[in-house]
Structure 1
C-alpha cells in the first residue's frame, strides 16, 4: 500500500509538476506564439487540460478499483502491484491507453496556454514515448496475463490513444 502511494506521488510530481515547470521555462526561453491571445484560447486550453486530467484520474481510479492494481512499471520494475483483472470499462472502453491520452491532452492544453510553439514538443514526445511503451511493454504483458480477454478487447477497442468512433 505504501509502495503504491509513494509511486503515485512521485509519478504525479514528475508528470504534473516537473514537466509543466519545464514547459513553462521552455516557453519563456523560446517565445514563438502559435495561437491568438484571446479568451477562446484560454477556454480551449482549459478544457483540453481539464479533460486530460479527468481521463488520467478516471483511468487510475478504475485500475485500482476494478483491476486491483496499478499502472506504474518502468524498465521491468513494478512500482505498483500489477493489475489482477483487465479493465475494459469506462475510458478503457473508448481507447486502450486513456491515461496516456489524458496526459497528452493535459500537456497539449498547457502548450496552448503557454502559447509557445516549442512547447508542443512535450505532448508530441510523450505521445512517441507512450506509443513505444504501449507496444514494447504494456501490450506484451497484457497479452501474456489476459490472453483471450485482451485479444477480444483489442478487437473491440482498436485505438491505442484516441477514443474510437461509434460503430453504426
Structure 2
C-alpha cells in the first residue's frame, strides 16, 4: 500500500470515529438507527469517491486531502473554514441532542428522503471532480490550471458548493431532526463568504476567469444566484 493510499485510509478511519462520537455521545444511546443509516450513506459515498480518485486522479486526491483551516494559505479563508467546520459539527450534534430529548423528530420517510439528498450531494460532487482535476479542498491556483467551463461548470460557477447544498439540507433530516436544519444558519453564511472570497481570488489569479463569469452568470443556484 503506497503512502497516499495509507494516508487516505487513515484519514477515513479517523473521520468515521469522530463522526460516530459526534452522533452517539450527544444522543446518549446507541439505539439511533437514523445515525447508522446516515453514516453508511455518508461513509460509503466518501469511500467510493476516494477509491475513484485513488485510481483515476491521485493528484486530485492529494489536493483534496489538504483540507481545513490549517491547510488554507489566506487568513480570511482560515477564518471561514473555522466557521464552516463549526457549522458542520452543529449539523451532526444538534440532531443527536434532538434524538436524546425528542424535540422535533421527523418521520422515517423524511429520514429516508434526507439520506437520498445526502447521496445526491455526493453524486453531484463526483460529477464535479470528474470534470475538474484542479478541484482542491483549499483555495489555490495550481501550476498549469485553466478555467473549466464544461459539464457542471457550464451551469453554475461553483458546482462543488451547489452539490454540497442537498448534502447539508439532507443531513439533519437523515438524522431524524427538524431542529437540525437551524444549524444551516451557521454553515450557509460561511459557504457564501467562502464562495465570494474564492471568486475574488480567482478573478485576480486565474487567467480567463473573468471572461468565464461573463459567460456563466449563476454562481450557485441556476436562475437564482
Q: Say if 1:99 and 1:156 are closer, same or farther in 2 by CA, change over 3 A.
A: same
TM-score by length of 1: 0.68
Q: Say if 1:154 and 1:52 are closer, same or farther in 2 by CA, change over 3 A.
A: same
Gaps of 5+ in 1: 13-17
1:145 and 2:205 matched: yes
**What is the root-mean-square deviation of aligned Cα atoms in Å?**
3.3
Paired residues for 1:146-165 under 5 Å: 146-147=206-207, 149-164=208-223
**Paired positions, count:** 148
- Aligned position for 1:15: none
Structure with the higher fraction of residues in helix conformation: 2
Counterpart-to-counterpart distance in 1, 2:90 and 2:186? 13
Q: Is the partner of 2:132 in helix, strand or coil? A: helix
Gaps of 5+ in 2: 5-58, 69-85
* CA radius of gyration, larger in: 2
- Aligned position for 1:26: 94
Counterpart-to-counterpart distance in 1, 2:215 and 2:182? 31
Counterpart-to-counterpart distance in 1, 2:143 and 2:103? 42
- Aligned position for 1:115: 176
Query: Contact conserved, 1:97 with 1:161, CA < 8 A, in 2?
Result: yes
1:46 and 2:115 matched: yes
TM-score by length of 2: 0.53
- Aligned position for 1:9: 65
